[in-house]
Amino acid sequence: MPVLHNRVSNEELKARMLAETETRTTVSFYQYFVLDDAQAFRDNLYVKFMQCQVFGRVYVAAEGINAQVSVPASRFDDFKAALFGAHPALDRIRLNVALDDDGKSFWVLRMKVRDRIVADGIDDPTFNPSDVGTYLKAEAVNAMADDPDTLFVDMRNHYEYEVGHFENALEVPSDTFREQLPMAAEMLADARDKNIVMYCTGGIRCEKASAYMRHQGFKNVYHVEGGIIEYTRQAKAQGLPVKFIGKNFVFDERMGERITEDVIAHCHQCGEPCDTHTNCRNAGCHLLFIQCSRCQAAYQGCCSDDCQRELALPLEAQRERRRGRETSMKIFNKSRDRLRGALRIPAPDENGSSER
């Protein structure tokens, strides 16, 4: 029986990845389909992916698969054969190849079985996840973006929306996808006669969101096929204007793909234009936030004076201070006000700046 999980430390695996000389390709994909035995499917695919030296994060559930992985260039055809042959529903699955890729996105393969590939909180037995909105390719997306009777709805988290979004897109200000769904329906209650375009990073959230909106009685529901990644690829390949501005946040070591040169976010510490995400270097915090190079140097990669002081302590003293500490701040937080409160800085003024 082959080993079906990793037994090597993260530090060693990361060092191995960084020492690789072969080019890797970062790719994301998802597919909603019915799995009778999600664990057996996971185990079989895990063995095949390990043989192809695939790194990344893969979630499997009775409703399908969701993954972000990196694959050695020489094994890419083997990887596709393994994936396409794993189930009849996957023989035509769309692969979203990263737009801005250094091949260093992952260093270990983690495959987990979950209740859902997207935690949606839907328990209505009459909900039909396959009754989705109309797919839109890049040209149609641009036409919709120019239509005053169309609303674009961003189904991502605040930290994603903050650094990049479609022009004039509506942000749904909730902390989780399961909260966003009913909130989006409530926010759009008076816009039932308008075209509603849902979008997300690679398509998985907005596809389910479009089905939810149809379930709530909305008729003119659309979603961007393949999400921001595929839209941008199509638009650039066809020489179309790119209506998404800024950066596309991604859930790997890169933390972002540059779509346009626009920098629409600000450093959470000084307020200067910046869209570079980082995690606080203090392991007792590890908060995700935006930090410019100047503040990175001044705070030594930390989010606050407190974390900087704690990081300077001997390791045992750091551990003693963290013992029993609430760790919720490690969780990505969508709320703009709560994030600023955690960093102990005021909100920016009308010009986008803030004082320390």
- The 10s digit of each residue's pLDDT in 254-309 is 778 899 999 999 999 999 999 999 999 998 888 889 999 999 999 999 999 999 99
Domain boundaries, the chain: 10-16+23-113, 134-246, 265-343
Judge whether 303 counts as a catalytic residue. Answer: no
The reported pLDDT for the residue numbered 15 is: 62
List the catalytic residue out of 52, 200, 295, 303: 200
pLDDT more than 70, % of the chain:
84
The reported pLDDT for the residue numbered 145 is: 95
- Give just the sign of the alpha carbon dihedral 13, 18, 24, 25: positive
Taking residues 146-171, what's their average pLDDT? 93
How many alpha carbons lie under 13 Å from residue 78 in its C-beta half-sphere? 13
CATH class of 10-16+23-113: alpha beta
In this prediction the pTM is 0.75
User: Which CATH number among 3.40.390.10, 3.40.50.720, 3.40.250.10, 3.40.50.12280 corresponds to the domain 134-246?
Assistant: 3.40.250.10
**Contact (Cβ atoms closer than 8 angstroms) between residue 104 and residue 14:** no
Is pLDDT above 60 for 227?
yes
Question: Kind of pairing, strands 195-199 and 150-154?
Answer: parallel
Do 134-246 and 10-16+23-113 fall under one CATH topology? no
Task: Give tens-digit pLDDT for 328-355.
Answer: 444 444 444 443 343 433 333 333 333 3
pLDDT more than 90, % of the chain:
59
